[in-house]
Structure 1
Amino acid sequence: MGALPKVFAQNQLRRSPIYRLTQAAGAFCEVINSGAVPMHYGNSDSELDRARRMAIADLSGLPRTGFKGTGTVDWLAGQGLTIGPDSNMAYRQDGGALAARLAPTEIFLIDGLEATGALIDRLNGAWNWGTEKPRKLIGYPMPRQDSHAWFMITGDAAPDMFAKICGVDLRPHKFAPGRIAQTSLAKMSGIVIRDDRGAIPAFHLLADVASAEYLWGAVLDAMSEFGGAPVGLQALRRLGEVPS
């Protein structure tokens, strides 16, 4: 099995809320930014094919954060981020991270799949109240590492699968790259962000960490008729590198 070496466990690395489920499915994990991340399930070539058809990956061990409130977008722009004016859109940053604008003054940041954590670490370290009076409005941090589970759904059949659990039409001609849907997924609230890997449809799925096991099972059930199954981060990285 892909259990982490004892030294990792002793260091109390951050684990996904569905760590036990991915371990039971045979996941082999690596440590990325102090998080245990499923990299593969034993056969990277077959996982690549699966990811092109229908797959789910657990990215909950990767870095993410958030900022909210009046002045948030201006402060992030001052930190070098590029964030467009439209809400419910995700904006790509240098290095691959996405700044998901959930509302005019709320940004949810998820790292790119290379998962260096550099941007998110820098932003978390840079935020602080100034000493000026009146104090400049720069928003406030909304830590997301422990509030939201993070899955990624890939494959040509993904929009059809989502039609079973989500009321939003996620077909490519209806839901463009970068679009965000804050909606109901399998009868619970969640966030869907389209972020294709090459020519393959791909969607980030962010939801309440307390319901992660339920949602993981619901998606696996919904994708079963399409031959869907879990894949690791390696397959997602390769997916963006190969032609469809």
Structure 2
Amino acid sequence: MNNVNPAGLKRRSFIYRELASLGAQFGEVNGGAVPLNFGAAREAELASARRLALADLSVLPHVGFKGRGTVEWLTAQGLSIGPDSNKAYVQPGGELAARLAPMEIFLLDSLAGTGTLMQRLNGAWTWAESAPRPQQGYPLPRQDSHAWFMLAGEFAPEMFSKMCGVDLRRDRFADGSIAQTSVAKMSAIIIRADRKAKDGRANAAYHVLADIASAEYLWSCLMDAGKEFGIRPVGLTALQDLEQ
């Protein structure tokens, strides 16, 4: 459903009013109000996404699992998770399993936003009624704790250099790498997740995850830092088009 009123849905971004003031056209994705575009022609938003653009994905499903036995339980549920921390592992449905630590996983939905994997995992995890309880970790409500932005475009690394001490250039920070660092003087998680086009071209893209209560501050800092590169806000459709 396109051009919905975010206030009419139960799930919406903390910054939906700011997005609406920038011209966002919202659609309903998995029960939440997600900016699909910002009123520009589709090709124009796609061009922005290839140069430098910022999108708010906070309403798309994301969840965490943490504790002893977490990776073993998730693997038993069919996820593919490698041994290295600070690495994001792509799942068959396009979801990302970001391994932040040996016993902590942050799951991000694919840009389809169906939430199918998260729903299945949340349904499968139960707390044993009595001890000894199995070692299977425990879920974390990342949907409620973390804002989720995506910064896309060839100038993203240069822009990040103004507000982050980690070298995020594409030849130094490989696809799938994770940096748990400071962005604009606040703690954040950065995950490189390039969008692969059908012609084989890799379009630079980075997930940015941070305290949801500071979403408005972080959005404004990212937009301000990107002004010299012509940053534009884009919707979910432009990010999906990067893979066409």
Q: Tell me, yes or no, whether TM beats 0.5.
A: yes
Aligned equivalent of 2:180: 182
Aligned equivalent of 2:229: 226
1:39 paired with 2:42, answer no
Aligned equivalent of 1:122: 120
Deviations 1:56-96 (A, max 9, x none): 00001100001000000000001000000000000001110
Aligned equivalent of 2:16: 19
Q: Percent identity?
A: 60
Q: Structure 1's 3 and 213: CA in aligned 2 closer, same or farther, altered over 3 A?
A: farther
Partner of residue 150 from structure 1, selected from 148, 151, 155: 148
CA distance in 1, matches of 2:121, 2:53: 32
Amino acid aligned to 1:145:
Q
CA distance in 2, matches of 1:149, 1:3: 22
Partner of residue 135 from structure 2, selected from 134, 137, 143: 137
Aligned equivalent of 2:160: 162
Q: More displaced, 193-202 or 212-221?
A: 193-202
CA distance in 1, matches of 2:138, 2:48: 40
Question: Are 1:99 and 1:110, in contact at CA under 8 Å, matched by a contact in 2?
Answer: yes
SS at match of 2:136: coil
SS at match of 1:146: helix
Aligned equivalent of 1:192: 190
Aligned length: 237
Partner of residue 29 from structure 1, selected from 26, 31, 39: 26
Question: Are 1:153 and 1:202, in contact at CA under 8 Å, matched by a contact in 2?
Answer: yes
CA distance in 2, matches of 1:42, 1:23: 11
Query: Aligned-pair distance for 1:229?
Result: 1.1
Unaligned residue ranges in structure 2 (runs of 5+) = 197-201
Question: Are 1:37 and 1:233, in contact at CA under 8 Å, matched by a contact in 2?
Answer: yes
1:53 paired with 2:63, answer no
SS at match of 2:36: strand
Question: Are 1:66 and 1:107, in contact at CA under 8 Å, matched by a contact in 2?
Answer: yes
Question: Are 2:3 and 2:27, in contact at CA under 8 Å, matched by a contact in 1?
Answer: no
CA distance in 2, matches of 1:20, 1:169: 33
Amino acid aligned to 2:18:
L
Aligned equivalent of 1:173: 171
CA distance in 2, matches of 1:107, 1:62: 17
Query: Aligned-pair distance for 1:134?
Result: 1.8
Aligned equivalent of 1:65: 63
Amino acid aligned to 1:4:
V
SS at match of 1:48: helix
Amino acid aligned to 1:37:
V
1:4 paired with 2:4, answer yes
Amino acid aligned to 2:34:
V
Unaligned residue ranges in structure 1 (runs of 5+) = none
1:80-91 matches, within 5 Å, as 80-91=78-89
Amino acid aligned to 1:50:
S
Amino acid aligned to 2:206:
F
CA distance in 2, matches of 1:200, 1:71: 35
Query: Aligned-pair distance for 1:131?
Result: 4.6
SS at match of 1:145: helix
Question: Are 1:3 and 1:23, in contact at CA under 8 Å, matched by a contact in 2?
Answer: no
Amino acid aligned to 1:25:
L
Query: CA-atom RMSD, angstroms?
Result: 1.3
Query: Aligned-pair distance for 1:4?
Result: 2.8
Aligned equivalent of 1:206: 209
TM-score by length of 1: 0.94
